[in-house]
Amino acid sequence: MRKAPTILHLDMDAFFASAEQASKPSLRGKAVIVGGLGPRGVVATCSYEARVFGVHSAMPMAQARRLAPNAAYLVPRFGFYRSISEQVMGLLRALSPLVEPLSLDEAFVDLEAGGAAWDEASARLAGGKLRADIRAVTGLTGSVGLAASKMLAKIASEQAKPDGLVLIEPGTERALLGPMSVRTLPGVGPATGDHLRRAGITTVGEIAEAGEDELVRLLGNAHGHALYAMALAHDDRPVVAERETKSVSVEDTYDVDIHDRIRVGLEVQRLADRCVRRLRGAGLSGRTIVLKVRRYDFSTLTRSETLRGPTDDPAVVREAAARLLESVDTTGGVRLLGVGVSGLADYTQEDLFAQAAGEHAESEVEEPSPGEPAEAQSAPVERRWPAGHDVRHAGYGHGWVQGSGLGRVTVRFETPDSEPGRVRTFRVDDPELEPADALPLVPLLPLVPRRPEESEASNEPEASNEPEASDGPGVPEEPVVTPVQASSVPASLPKSRSGSEGGGATSRP
């Protein structure tokens, strides 16, 4: 008996970048790139307008700047994205009790478990309503894949990008998978893909033709059996509502290698405090403290120490991390540091494993904004203005940082429901300018279903040559403001599989 296509996979379209465009009217329809803006930064997400220039997720930021020099480059606002994600996940949980989040912008849903769908027609209706509800609540778009298994639902949502819905009908799975690259299957990364290619296997159909015994010989027992089953479209993995957290960790990459041993030690202490805050925020404790150090030559060292029982005491974690650091040679310079806690538990044996004498008082260290260069705790506080982050001026109201440098900060004053705003420049220490919380997005009307012939239309996005916001100095105080269209994402875009959020052919119900 064929299974109904009631497993849904939702993937929000260019989530971080789309959220920034919805939040900033002047960036709608423009190339937007979100990520670390330092010399070693990488692209977290980019808008579809930026992908036209070849930019994709995980690309070095320096390369993205060469490809799209006029794009808007913004530092991530994870708190803002998390608030939108919570709204989206709430809509998913209204459909079914079995929701498996994979990240802030991606999740599986078992529609049948919630009674939301039981066959092809009801699954398509549920997927279409979900897309409309997401747009109505957040103003953003998401792509939906529907199939009889998690693997196929994820493939379907990738085909649906951007802003579409694809349902894989039962009985068509083998024909669909056959010509696809082996990298399409879960668990096939670059190394496995190269190994299969050397054996003359490049497509999913060729995996099926090779046979199970050959796959086991090439990849080993467990991996070979699993891969062969998936090539035959067999995937029995259930949607799991709660994914167990295995570790909690934080890390920072530095624009300039750190050579000062004292500074390295202070950074480790700061990271330990941040890690404990995350640990306590999740209501967890852990037994194993892990230190990660990436040195100047890109060699990465990991050291760990296991305590006699779980702890969430910041002093204990700081001291363990400091001891681990003593065994690492950092004389050549350090480019990345990280502190983590694993062996998690949902309880703590208070003070039993405290290794510092006397009472342990938690250090009240403020966590820096995401993407902001880490500062030593003993250094004087310097006002920094990350590009894209929200600010408020006593005289001009709410705005966002368009760029900063040479003692100046340039701000564009606009809100999600305003017209594109004007730009003004201030001193970085202007007392009337202060950081602000992000404003909520403006909900949009639900999607109007398109006629079938409209879904085949292909409108290539036009590349904009207008200068965009940058993170450096020299941003003009009063740039020309160009009216933008209401729709920021074109109906159809060129196929791309680059990065984790690559676009694909659009298919709509």
Catalytic residue positions? 106
C-alpha–C-alpha distance, residues 164 and 145, integer Å: 9
Phi then psi for residue 409, to 5 deg, are: -135, 130
C-alpha–C-alpha distance, residues 287 and 427, integer Å: 47
C-alpha–C-alpha distance, residues 113 and 167, integer Å: 18
Q: Which of 322, 334, 117, 83 is nearest to 239 (CA)?
A: 117
Phi then psi for residue 234, to 5 deg, are: -100, 115
Give yes or no for a contact between 412 and 422, defined as CB atoms under 8 angstroms apart. yes
Query: CB within 8 A of 462, min separation 6: which ones?
Result: none
Provide the sign of the torsion angle of the four alpha carbons 43, 138, 11, 26, taken in this order.
negative
Phi then psi for residue 213, to 5 deg, are: -60, -40
C-alpha–C-alpha distance, residues 388 and 301, integer Å: 34
Q: What is the CA radius of gyration of the chain?
A: 25
Secondary structure string (H, E, C) spanning 425-463: EEECCCCCEEECCCCCCCCCCCCCCCCHHHHHCCCCCCC
Give yes or no for a contact between 425 and 475, defined as CB atoms under 8 angstroms apart. yes
